[in-house]
């Protein structure tokens, strides 16, 4: 809580080391292109992620057109459909969401929220972005090579991933995908080490770990997860590249293709699945934990109430991160694993739901009796809670072996995965952009367009994915180009697929309105106040908005309290910023004084 008693001033220890000199740009190129300012790097990350994300959005439209009106468009062949599925999944999970939360919000918010001048290693930070951009360009290049990109599915399971029967399997498509992933991981490692060291070593005076905003806790824990999990994907990408190019047999068993015995032998496809999902399930929380932290801050600010159970929320984030490494094989129930392994991973899947449920309870109690302002960021935050709970419940279905086996390869999995890993995090991204856009630009986004964007996106997402659960229950398989005359699939499935396609196109259009809103508001938006949301965290206490190079004035701020001092009894304002000295807090004059 906050102590506003003037006589009780906490002793803030002096700075242990002098401030390091900042690098100052000397030209347009070093100020806006090869820039070492984390805020500019954050915008570069975000812009690149949004552009490649739009490619993923268009691919999803093409898939929906085929499913909604089968075989109407001649350019959507069975091969290209599988390629669209693969590239859409990988783009959205890795190159959009991971890059946005860690590269975008991580770079912009960490140094501001902990009271630092910049990241600890700004040059390495700059390199991390350019390596990410290189990874994106390599991925995009696969669209233009003979045979096109890989169509192995976004999980890239061998042996089919590098066999000639798979689109892009024996050409450059799969190679470029694997090389792109390797470069992405190299770039992220540079950025991730920066995030961790900055949070641990560059916090301003008074900013203890238990005074950090939950946004920083979420980004910090997710970064640690990524630094531990990405190496599994890195080595599997290298090993599969060697299997494809040099004919090694890390993942390739003895196999016959079109009647011909291939030279492979002794490899284990299941080993790749273990390596992929040892990365893949922590990846869910690499995206989710920053979202959890951001939602906590949005709820607190826009409900004008302190976060309920702050320490419990911190430890829940840490517990979720730790448990995420012991649930990976619930993605592999149909791989032929020993039933006892299935029992173990079903149990850990239920256990990891406990700290997640604690967070949901605490978000609800934060809203309880709060002064809730239904701003656009608040709408997106509430929508996230609803969506994540819905997606999480279906996750409990799939975490149970006996339920998962018949549903594993159906549209039910697609619906669950998109609710948890697609719609829910994207809602947080939107809420965060509406919340911090005034900080980044000094202008407000258009409110009417924002509310249109919210309602179409929120309602439209449910019109897309709720019917998809039903399709899974009736047995509609995923990744199929066409169902044709399948006896066990009812006629209603075709009608629902057509309905979902229309809803998806409408939701996609709403995202174009959002992008238009951003582009127009950057130049013509209503000028914002310095701290329009009356927030308490340090990013809103800078001398200028947007913050200049070095973030703060000559003196770094000193922190006296946590970031959730809202509706404090006895104060004039309904919030007390972290850096306001207790003697400077404006108190209500007693009656009759």
pLDDT at 491: 85
State how far the Cα of 362 lies from the Cα of 480, in Å rounded to an integer.
41
Q: pLDDT tens digits for 95-118? A: 999 999 999 999 999 999 999 999
User: How far from 177 is each of 62, 204, 414, 540, CA to CA, in Å?
Assistant: 20, 41, 22, 40
Q: Tokens 């840490």 — which residue?
A: 318
301-320: average pLDDT:
96
- H or E element: which one contains 464? helix 447-473
- If phi over 0 gives left and psi between -120 and 50 gives alpha, with beta otherwise, what is residue 485? beta
d(CA 157, CA 270): 9
**Radius of gyration for the chain, computed over Cα atoms and rounded to the nearest angstrom:** 25
Whether 405 contacts 333, CB under 8 Å:
yes
What pLDDT shows up at residue 340? 85
Predicted confidence at residue 482, as pLDDT, reads: 86
Residue 67 neighbours by CB under 8 Å, 6+ apart: 497, 500, 501
pLDDT given for residue 33 in this prediction? 86
Rounded average pLDDT over 428-441:
97
Average pLDDT of the residues in 446-458: 97
If you average pLDDT over residues 201-224, what whole number do you get?
96
Q: What percent of the chain has pLDDT over 90?
A: 82
Residue boundaries of the structural domains of the chain:
34-247
Whole-angstrom distance, CA of residue 282 vs CA of residue 319: 12
C-alpha distance from residue 455 to each of 407, 451, 452, 510 (Å): 31, 6, 6, 9
What are the pLDDT digits (tens) for 149-165? 999 999 999 999 999 88
pLDDT at 579 over 90: yes
Burial category of 259 from C-beta neighbours within 10 Å (exposed 0-12, middle 13-18, buried 19 and up): exposed
Whether residue 249 contacts residue 266, with contact meaning beta carbons closer than 8 Å, is answered with yes
As a whole number of angstroms, the distance between CA 111 and CA 115 comes to 6
pLDDT of 3 over the 50 cut: no
**β-bridge partners, 257:** 260
What pLDDT sits at residue 11? 63
User: 27-41, 445-459, 578-592: which has the highest mean pLDDT?
Assistant: 445-459
The more confidently predicted of residues 32 and 60 is: 60
Residue whose structure tokens are 């997606």: 391
Residue 25 banded pLDDT, cuts 50, 70, 90: confident
pLDDT value at residue 321: 96
Model pLDDT for residues 222-254, shown as the tens digit of each residue:
999 999 999 999 999 999 999 999 999 999 999
- Say which CATH class 34-247 falls into: mainly alpha
Q: Which region, left, alpha or beta, applies to residue 369 given φ > 0 means left and ψ of -120 to 50 means alpha?
A: left
Lowest-confidence pick of 13-17, 79-83, 121-125: 13-17
CA-to-CA dists, residue 142 to 139, 173, 218, 417, 446, angstroms:
6, 5, 34, 26, 38
The structure's pTM equals 0.94
pLDDT at 18: 67
pLDDT of 17 reads 61
Segment among 43-52, 268-277, 486-495 with least mean pLDDT? 486-495
Place of tokens 């951003």: 518
Q: Which residue has the higher pLDDT, 14 or 577?
A: 577
**CB contact set of 523 (below 8 Å; sequence gap of 6+):** none
Spatial separation of the C-alpha atoms in residues 302 and 295, rounded to whole Å: 10
Residue 71 pLDDT > 90, yes or no? no
Q: CA–CA separation, 486 vs 494, rounded Å?
A: 11
- Is it the case that residue 19 has pLDDT exceeding 80? no
Residue 220 CA to residue 110 CA, distance in Å, equals: 9
């Amino acid at each position: 809580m906050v102590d506003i008693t003037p006589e009780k001033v906490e002793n803030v220890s002096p700075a242990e080391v002098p401030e390091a000199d900042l690098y100052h740009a000397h030209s347009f190129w070093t100020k806006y292109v090869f820039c070492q300012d984390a805020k500019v790097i954050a915008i570069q990350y975000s812009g690149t992620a949004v552009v490649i994300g739009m490619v993923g959005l268009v691919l999803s439209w093409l898939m929906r057109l085929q499913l909604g009106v089968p075989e109407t468009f001649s350019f959507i062949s069975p091969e290209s459909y599988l390629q669209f599925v693969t590239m859409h999944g990988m783009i959205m999970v890795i190159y959009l969401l991971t890059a946005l939360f860690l590269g975008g919000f991580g770079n912009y918010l960490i140094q501001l929220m902990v009271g630092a001048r910049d990241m600890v290693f700004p040059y390495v930070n700059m390199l991390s972005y350019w390596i990410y951009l290189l990874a994106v360009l390599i991925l995009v290049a696969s669209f233009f090579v003979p045979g096109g990109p890989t169509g192995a599915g976004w999980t890239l399971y061998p042996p089919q991933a590098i066999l000639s029967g798979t689109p892009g399997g024996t050409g450059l498509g799969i190679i470029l995908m694997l090389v792109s992933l390797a470069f992405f991981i190299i770039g992220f490692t540079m950025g991730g080490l920066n995030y961790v060291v900055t949070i641990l070593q560059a916090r301003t005076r008074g900013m203890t770990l238990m005074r950090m905003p939950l946004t920083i806790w979420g980004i910090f824990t997710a970064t640690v997860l990524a630094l531990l999990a990405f190496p599994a994907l890195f080595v599997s990408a290298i090993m599969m590249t060697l299997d494809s190019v040099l004919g090694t047999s890390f993942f390739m068993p003895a196999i016959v293709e079109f009647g011909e015995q291939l030279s492979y032998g002794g490899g284990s496809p299941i080993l790749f699945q273990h390596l992929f999902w040892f990365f893949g399930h922590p990846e869910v929380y690499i995206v989710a934990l920053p979202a959890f932290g951001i939602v906590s801050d949005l709820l607190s600010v826009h409900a004008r109430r302190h976060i309920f159970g702050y320490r419990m929320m911190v430890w829940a984030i840490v517990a979720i991160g730790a448990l995420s490494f012991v649930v990976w094989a619930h993605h592999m129930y149909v791989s032929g694993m020993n039933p006892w392994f299935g029992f173990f991973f079903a149990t850990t899947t239920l256990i990891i739901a406990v700290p997640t449920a604690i967070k949901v309870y605490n978000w609800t109690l934060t809203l309880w009796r709060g002064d809730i302002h239904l701003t656009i960021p608040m709408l997106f935050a509430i929508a996230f809670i609803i969506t994540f709970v819905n997606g999480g419940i279906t996750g409990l279905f799939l975490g149970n072996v006996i339920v998962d086996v018949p549903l594993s390869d159906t549209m039910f999995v697609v619906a669950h995965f998109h609710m948890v890993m697609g719609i829910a995090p994207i809602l947080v991204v939107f809420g965060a952009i509406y919340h911090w856009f005034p900080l980044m630009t000094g202008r407000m986004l258009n409110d009417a367009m924002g509310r249109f964007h919210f309602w179409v996106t929120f309602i439209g997402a449910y019109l897309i994915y709720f019917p998809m659960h039903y399709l899974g229950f009736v047995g509609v398989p995923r990744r199929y180009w066409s169902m044709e005359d399948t006896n066990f699939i009812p006629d209603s499935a075709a009608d629902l697929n057509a309905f979902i396609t229309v809803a998806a196109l409408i939701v996609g259009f709403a995202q174009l309105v959002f992008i238009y809103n951003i582009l127009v508001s950057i130049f013509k938006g209503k000028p914002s106040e310095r701290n329009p949301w009356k927030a308490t965290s340090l990013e809103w206490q800078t001398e200028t908005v947007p913050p200049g190079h070095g973030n703060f004035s000559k003196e770094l701020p000193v922190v006296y309290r946590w970031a959730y001092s809202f509706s404090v009894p006895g104060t004039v304002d309904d919030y007390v910023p972290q850096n306001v000295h207790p003697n400077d807090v404006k108190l209500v004059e007693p009656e009759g004084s």
